[in-house]
Amino acid sequence: MLKISLALLSAAVAVSAAQPHGHHQHQHVHKARNADAAPGYVTVAGPTEIVYVLNGQTISEAEVQQGIKNGSLVFANDGQLTPKPAGTYKAPPAYAAPSSSTASSTSTTLAAKATPTQYNADSSAAAAVQSTVSNIVPSYGGGSSGTGVWGSDATGIDSDFPDGQLDCSTFPSAYGAVAVHWTGLGGWTGVQSPGSSTGNGYGNIMTVTSGGSCTEGAYCSYACPPGYQKSQWPTTQGSTGQSVGGLKCSGGKLHLTNPSMCTQLCMKGSDQVEILVQNKMTQNVAVCRTDYPGTESETVPVDVPGGGQSNLTCPDADNYYKWQGGKTSAQYYVNPAGVSVEDGCQWGQSGNPWGNFAPLNLGVGYSNGAAWLSIMQNAPTTDAKLDFCVEIIGDGVSGTCKYSNGQYCGGANYDDCSSTTGCTVSLSSGTATFVFSDSS
């Protein structure tokens, strides 16, 4: 676990150790009780949540940023007073390869300023950080109020990307990418500055914070429309299991990183099944996919307006990102009804049940001749209960799976229930729908 301490310039701050509460696996069939698990899937750790503790009290990232900006706060080693840092901290050996269903990652930066080279997490820095594992899938739907469409500025979904021609300051919405403005990264869902690589991969991956941009040497990630997903990630990944994704800014221009797979920025999911999400309620529901491979933050939005529906991209595991040779799937956070994508599709705080603290996750992926669809608690991150019902329906769906009033139920009559263990169904072909409705 990574540790960072904040110190007042006038006094040292005692170190407060925070315990990890990770969740985000990229394995869509975990916690299954109603279908056989798909073989060959691996568990992949997800984004790292940063919690700042000062004098035993949790403070917000905004307060940290302001403190660093005005000089009242600095990062300190072992809780001792140190001068305000002027350069870059080196990242620790981030993220040991997970061997169980839960693992934590420490590849996320603690940068408080908007450049990819300042205040990266340091293994020798003392502090209070909680590592959280979380999940998600891509898309955009109606705006938060049910009006407008996320990605309405994106065109050219089937156009080949002009490799090495666009300036790094240009967000490629003309080639299908969907701009996500609330990240503060110029429309990018995440920006990683990995530094130089060794024979084993990138060992010092820094995540650029809000206010930054797609700069020289960085990998710049993006969202795609419903039914599509990001197609670009480099062959070289993190040396200890971190994922890296997006276009690369090199020589001031944007370059494809995976042209052998696809020369368009966005690729479809499985063509064997169609996965939908339908909202029967009056308020919108923000559903957020993890930006994976990449920063693994929940910044890829689909806003399902009241009375509306949208596609959920279902990755074909045989033809998508492999984590250390293993197949991966996609997962989504489901936020409470009425939460906007601006609030729900980014890092949150434990006092609010949205963002990475959203109560519920959906798992979606296709492997070995079937789609595997799951509903599960966002545990151990939170035990909060979602305020509506979620059910998987569809002709040809094998098994039953429903969440209602804090219970995950399967069985022929939904009589096999648990408050902690999620449920999974499978679908060989056709359409399955995650239905959101008022709790009964």
60 pLDDT tier (thresholds 50, 70, 90) = low
Give the pLDDT confidence of 175-194 residue by residue, as tens digits: 999 999 999 999 999 999 99
DSSP per residue over 326-353, as a string?
EE--EEEEEPPTT--HHHHSS---TTSS
Cα(first)–Cα(last) distance of the chain, in Å? 41
Radius of gyration for the chain, computed over Cα atoms and rounded to the nearest angstrom: 21
Phi and psi based region of residue 227 (left: phi greater than 0; alpha: psi -120 to 50; beta: remaining): left
- pLDDT on residue 58: 59
CB-based contact 75:84 (threshold 8 Å): no
Q: Is 7 or 227 the better-scoring residue by pLDDT? A: 227
Q: Give the long-range contacts of residues 66-70, CB within 8 A, separation 24 or more.
A: 67/6, 68/112, 68/113, 68/119, 69/112, 69/113
Contacts of 110 (CB under 8 A, 6+ apart): 4, 50, 75, 119, 120, 121, 129
Share of the chain above pLDDT 90, in %: 60
pLDDT of residue 374: 97
Question: pLDDT by residue (tens digit) across 372-403?
Answer: 999 999 999 999 999 999 999 999 999 999 99
Which of the given ranges, 43-52, 141-150, 356-365, has the highest pLDDT on average? 356-365
Helix or strand run (H / E) with residue 377: strand 370-377
Nearest by Cα to 290 from 255, 321, 259: 321
Q: Compute the Cα dihedral for 57, 60, 65, 66 and give only its sign.
A: negative
Question: In whole angstroms, what is the distance from residue 137 CA to residue 423 CA?
Answer: 18
Rounded Cα–Cα distance for residues 406 and 376 (Å): 10
Burial class (CB in 10 A: 0-12, 13-18, 19+), 199: exposed
What is the pTM (predicted TM-score) of this model? 0.70
The percent of residues in the chain predicted with pLDDT above 70, rounded, is 65
Task: Taking residues 37-65, report their average pLDDT.
Answer: 47
Structural domains present in the chain: 273-437 (2.60.110.10)
Q: What does the pLDDT read at residue 199?
A: 82
**Distance between CA atoms of residues 345 and 143, nearest Å:** 13
